[in-house]
Structure 1
Amino acid sequence: MSVAVAVVDAETPGNVGTIARAMKNFGLSDLLLVDPPELDPDGEAYGFAGQAREDVLPDAREVTLDHVVENYHTVGCTATTNEDATKHVRYPFETPADLADSLQGVDADVCLVFGRESSGLTNDELARLDRICAIPASADYPVLNLGQAATVVLYECRDLTVSETQLPGEDHSADPAAVEGLHDQFADFLVALGHPGEKRAKTGRMWRRLLGRADPTGREVRTMRGLFRRAADRMRDDDQ
């Protein structure tokens, strides 16, 4: 299953660029544009697109809504409308948080469809789509900017589109060999410290359990190894 994004009748180029950037953030590349505004390479669409200006935005395809409906399992993305089961066009809807799980069993390519900034997707357009996704928001002001709405939905669908994610500054669990090296340096540190020989094995086991619970990153292990090495060297120099 692949996931595409369609933007219907966007009114401002900047929002198209913002959506392209969000697609790049969350592992999508297939952007479909229905009745788009002019996207000048020197204009705000490319200015807002970030690195998506290099591939997602220039590779976008202009299509019709008929093409989207005929070739994809479609999800219409709209604001919460406060309507209920008596208003069948927009009800029931899924939230973005539920969408990724519910799409797991779909045996077809999926297209997330976003509407125009001022009025979203019309009831007639929504009636043609397979399912509806709505973003719960404050009843005082439930309408999101088009680019913001797309970012929220694409973020929640990241499990479908991104094989590996990383938080800013995140480092993954340290290599087991590096962790073992840290244990060896801790043992050397105990010797340099003059820790009683009969207590070293027990202290080493306590250290191993502590480190196992901590699940240190590669950077953390490298830092600790450097500290223990310098401490052991300093203590040996002081003893001389």
Structure 2
Amino acid sequence: MSDADEREGGHDDREFVVVVVEPETPGNVGTIARAMKNFGLTDLKLVDPPEIDRDSEAYGFAGHAREDVLPNADTVTLEEIIENYHTVGTTAITGEDARRHVRYPFKTPAELRESLATVDTDTALVFGREGTGLNNEELAQLDELISIPANPDYPVMNLGQAATVTLYELRSLFLDEYQLPDVEHERAAEPEIERFYEQFGSFLAEAESRDHKRERSERLIRRLVGRAHPTSKEVTTLTGVFRRATDLMEHADHSERERTGDRTDERDGEPRAR
């Protein structure tokens, strides 16, 4: 295949989508659609969007994206995105260290570009609301976080600006004229990873009685796995390990209850029925 053919056909089958959660103004949706068109993306997904018609600001701000990106935008739920994509959330307000684990660790868009350059995975870039961004509950469900370096006295950017800067930094992942490095490994499918999270949750239900500790551990493991980009084999192995550990703990707990019951019966002088 010639270089021209490779550029024309793209370099891989990875899918990148842009997700906007509860945008308040059609104009920002149009601005994001235009930025997508500028930097090589076409798949826009909206969670609880405002009404967008062809006479709205969205089409006025979209430029040539009014021809394809904007009219083809899908309305989805955030849950659907989490189930089917490697998710990258955007936030202006970050945690300073591991004690603020909901908004930490995070990457800059440039660091995310380097991280994803050699990983084969379908990825969703998730942007939040104009006024409040993504809330902690939403961020806790996402795999990775990015934050745009800005003036610490005023780090919050306009939604359209934030999307434009992010897509510019990531442009080499989307545009055909930029050749990606060879993919080093293929990331496990999202349903496999979600099954691991479910099994890890079952393990925690046996190992940790305090709700807040379990919730924090689940968020931390999601962040860890999100950064690691595990293969299908790795995720399957980890799921099996935690399944066996959970089974052993359940068996040990059952045996302990049986022993406790035997001693109680003997003290009462009533042999336990066999």
Q: One-letter code of the match for 1:3?
A: F
Q: For 1:133 and 1:140, how far apart are their aligned partners in 2?
A: 19
Is 1:8 the counterpart of 2:25? The answer is: no
Displacement of 1:107 after TM fit? 2.8
Q: One-letter code of the match for 1:30?
A: D
Q: Deviations over 1:199-219 (max 9, x none)?
A: xxxxxxxxxxxxxxxxxxxxx
Kept after mapping to 1: 8 A contact 2:26/2:57: yes
Q: Deviations over 1:118-174 (max 9, x none)?
A: 000000000100000101111111100000000000001101001227xxxxxxxxx
Structural mapping, 1:1-240, within 5 Å: 1-81=14-94, 83-164=96-177
TM-score normalised over the length of structure 1: 0.67
Q: Deviations over 1:69-118 (max 9, x none)?
A: 00100000111435321100010100011111111233321000000000
Displacement of 1:60 after TM fit? 0.3
Distance 1:110 1:7, change over 3 A: same
Is the partner of 1:79 in helix, strand or coil?
Answer: coil
Displacement of 1:40 after TM fit? 1.6
Q: One-letter code of the match for 2:144?
A: R
Q: For 1:43 and 1:34, how far apart are their aligned partners in 2?
A: 18
Q: One-letter code of the match for 2:133?
A: G
Q: For 2:122 and 2:94, how far apart are their aligned partners in 1?
A: 27
Which runs of 5 or more residues in structure 2 are unaligned?
Answer: 1-13, 179-274
Aligned length: 165
Kept after mapping to 2: 8 A contact 1:80/1:137: no
Kept after mapping to 2: 8 A contact 1:80/1:135: no
Q: For 2:153 and 2:95, how far apart are their aligned partners in 1?
A: 12
Kept after mapping to 2: 8 A contact 1:6/1:113: yes
Q: One-letter code of the match for 1:122?
A: N
Bigger Cα displacement from structure 2, 97-106 vs 70-79:
97-106
Q: Deviations over 1:177-233 (max 9, x none)?
A: xxxxxxxxxxxxxxxxxxxxxxxxxxxxxxxxxxxxxxxxxxxxxxxxxxxxxxxxx
Name the Cα RMSD after superposition.
1.1
Displacement of 1:2 after TM fit? 1.5
Q: For 1:116 and 1:80, how far apart are their aligned partners in 2?
A: 13
Kept after mapping to 2: 8 A contact 1:13/1:37: yes
Q: For 2:59 and 2:123, how far apart are their aligned partners in 1?
A: 25
Is the partner of 1:119 in helix, strand or coil?
Answer: coil
Runs of 4+ in 1 over 3 A off after TM superposition: none
